[in-house]
Structure 1
């Protein structure tokens, strides 16, 4: 019978295990689930939210989501909302957590900054609604006291001040002046007081637009510069708005000739914005999209930032032909003289056609010649070339097209201010370019050299 104590102990342990497994553990899991549920500030998902009301000491803003999913302001006026601002507030509420309940049915709200809350938000999701009053910071700066109407309790949350304080009607109004997708643009017209530039997208509705200048000249456009301009137009935003009324009428009378007018054309219609700075000394600038729309206050630096002259928007690669269209490239410098020929996609030397060239080195060199851009314009029209060392040039490159005709020419002269004077087939006049190409012209021996083999090391 000496085993009875051991058996009895095993029975007791089994009973305790069963109690823990069947009673305590499920109860703890239920309690944890309830705690997780209680931690959510809103009891409905983000996708169900269709209405938002934000009240501050400055007034109330009512917003609703339309059938297309866009947010609209419905009061105190009817206009488009800044969807990003609205979604940012909703996301903060949806992801917000209750850290702990401070007081149920509180007798006083002053200790929590809730007697006069900085912001009161009502969120509507179908038949459900929740109103949250935002109070002071909690013990930590990253916490806020909130009065939750559905439970009539003051709770401490992990919400942050920046998401809910200083929100005004302007905060929620749509502030971007132009709404477009770059690939869908068909043309862009830039009108200045003394000139006009018209750009056409030759690859509309394709992922990568191809821009050309159609006026005042027919020319290839600098794709990077055009994209940069369009990105800046996408970012053109109002700092303030003057709605139709006496103030707008009075200011509009001071706006005569715009410093810049931008017209965007798509298959769906045109968008136009005019930029004004009636008194540069005042530091004020305005934008107008139509006579019956608000006037927009903008940063005066925007006008200067959007200004582009013809030279800036032109394709500034001087040679005048793309690398893929070059059939033959004649190279002449003070100590090098040879001709590269493209035979069935491979480069060879004209005087050594059977010798295998380092194709990587040849392709890189041809690309550098074809893509060398002008940095500065020296003179616009043809003139004396001797002052720039272009009568007896330092280097000259002549490209022949696949039709056997000369398609491009690039000439490099003397150096000045760390740049080299140059002329090219694409642009009229004398320019300055970076001097790097002069040091990058390979010798025949370098072109004939085999590429270095990659070596692997063992460890």
Structure 2
């Protein structure tokens, strides 16, 4: 084949390809113009099946195989048709009433069905009625849930059509009294807690209030936020970390599980006459007064609010704090005193009294004070002294004294003489006596009270450290 012939054939092929490309471009442009001009048909708006004025509705009646629920409206307020008031959830109630005041359909399934059975409407198991103040009635029949789950079939009065209403609206027509009950309890904010009292049948009450004196230097609780004023004869600082689980549990008491009786004639079957425990908590705005009864089963406990008749249940796990012991919540320091508030200390044991003095003078270098530490008149270095002081104020009670007052003579005594005072409510000397209790423990006496125990080993170690400090070791 000659070169001219080959060139001619190639030109013909290229020309054919060019024609195909030009045709494709023209087709695509045509399709684009067609697409730009086309508009997607919007979903049809929900169809209003019925509209009612809430003020004209006297009663709402829901009937199902589970029973009949009637709500009545009096003076603009809705309640259950019962001889006593039932506390209702305003949100759930609003949703149900809205089903009657403005009922809308997602679509018309069949304008004139020949057979209602495929929709569960031949013999509907559930009907919802609104009885108006003039005596007329609007009755809706609710059928099956559509296979897609998108909604329920519904037939309106005097209307042959079958509608599909939203699944959420269908569920409202299926409400029982349990669905409409208000399950919220007074919610106390733990971060604003200003009062807490827990009383137990046969046990000591725990009462806790804010510690307004915290951080005052000479306080026994310089870091505490709360103080326990019961059951001990003297207020005790509360340990925030140990109290936190109780506060967390308190925050969880916001929703009841189930109402078991609206107006019981007898509270004894629920362990509420008298109650097993009683909780009072407040945050300055909300107050919770809860009576706690016996266990319903392994998971639920009967309870009631003090100012309400209804009995309900709460999860047993959320009420575990009821068994908390007072000693588990307090700071257990025997005598926690800020060193800056102390002028001298006397420690008496085994017939000998050692005197620890803190001598302070103005410091030109710091503009404050410079302290010198002496044991029995002998100056000791600051570092070992401060280490000893931590062991002295770090003595901690280890148990409650369950035997009553201890009358024995003290074997060990520590006395803190404060720099200033007395101011209002302030003591010049804080004294702790350690009285023989048994072979392992001392009873800790403060202000004539012996409520706590401390191990002899703890006190003995403090004395050994003091002896070593006096020897300059």
Give the TM-score normalised by structure 1: 0.49
Larger-gyration structure (1/2): 2
Give the TM-score normalised by structure 2: 0.48
